[in-house]
Structure 1
Amino acid sequence: MSDSSGSPHLPVAPLSLTSEQRDELEQAILERVGGLLDYVPSDVLYDSIVTHIVRESSRFLQRENLKDVLRDIDMMGEQTLQQHPQLRDIIREACKTRSNFTRIVDLKIFQIVPESGNTSTSPAQGQRV
């Protein structure tokens, strides 16, 4: 059903964040999406929540002087939910528990894939710039 990360059938590459950083990011995301959590779930709502999560995480990485390894979410759009239907369950669970939003940005589908010629850094290392 799901792996230990709580991400059913989607590959995970955890961002290199301390537990304190994850807690702080989790709180920032909850403040950003909290108002959306009372609406009836739909793909449009889930897409909006993912957009907020990725943007808030990207801001956080930049503020912490960590390499921003997240994709430009505007380029992904609603087709992400269609291509990865199990993402709905992950988002639904995070909304229901009002936690684990940072696990969504740990999914490889939201991370920049390194160019094939560059094997010295992986996108999940979160190296300082």
Structure 2
Amino acid sequence: MNLALWIVAGLLAAVFAFAGANKLFIPYEKLAKAHGAGWVNQFSPGFVKALGTLEILGAIGLIVPAALDIVPVLAPLAAAGLATIMVGAAIVTSRRGERAHAALNVVYLTLTLFVAIARFGPESFS
């Protein structure tokens, strides 16, 4: 179970680091024109940049604290934070009628909850 959690956390970290970097480093206007990124037009550039920053911090929080054994409780907290972001993402994409993106967001939500619940409970680092 521990190995599965590390694998899922690693995959999630890669996904959120990539998504966060796109939001943070791609100009807002260019991002808004990208396929599947129409949701960006509903939010301010500052919000999108802040979201990207939070996703990068969440990706780091999934791995680094536990790997270095420095405040490892941050790993399930990061997973819970990313799960919260995915709830919002699923709602936004559902309202826009983007069913495929909404389904993918629910998958990410499920995986982040899996990591959070397991790391807070039976597979905690303490």
Q: TM-score range by the shorter chain?
A: 0.3 to 0.5
* Greater relative contact order, per chain length (Cα 8 Å cut-off, separation 6+): 1
What is the TM-score when the length of structure 1 is the normalising length? 0.32
More helix by share: 2
Structure of higher CA gyration radius? 2
